[in-house]
Structure 1
């Protein structure tokens, strides 16, 4: 499974909305749309570090890095290239 699919699957499995089907694009701001909350942000951080074996430092603790599927994938790519 590719990175983007894994990220989307994690987000979709942790949505706080109670509708049967929630649709969002890869550039939609999942926090502004009310799909997730601050607790999810901590779960997401833990998931990303464990699943992709990366360490996300304080310099990347900006909501912009975690607000869309595409920004999360970009963050993973950035840290995956660091050796």
Structure 2
């Protein structure tokens, strides 16, 4: 899955699973809290959906606020988790 596909999957998860409205166009540079209006409870829910959708396990100690800074940083985190699990 490339970065654009991961971005679209995240968008779908946020809109459908979290029932949160997003702009029609989202970008990797969009800040999760400030630009998209996602709060900390929604982020925790998103982690659960990410684990299911991307078949990764998110260790509690890796849930760093910097990971959830932008959609791009979140995509990079997902890619790192996937790479670590296939290694």
TM-score (norm 2): 0.72
User: Would you say the 8 A contact 1:54–1:80 is kept in 2?
Assistant: yes
Higher helix proportion (structure 1 or 2): 2
- Residues 1:6 and 2:9 aligned together: yes
CA deviation map 1:22-70 (0-9, x unaligned): 2543212120236111110111110111111111113311122123211
2:57 counterpart (55, 59, 69): 55
* Higher RCO by CA contacts (8 Å cutoff, separation 6 or greater): 1
Instruction: Report how many aligned residue pairs link the two structures.
Output: 79
Rounded to whole Å, the distance in 1 between the matches of 2:82 and 2:41 is 25
TM-score (norm 1): 0.75
Give 5+ residue unaligned stretches, structure 1: none
RMSD: 2.2
| Structure 1 outlier segments of 4+, above 6 Å | none
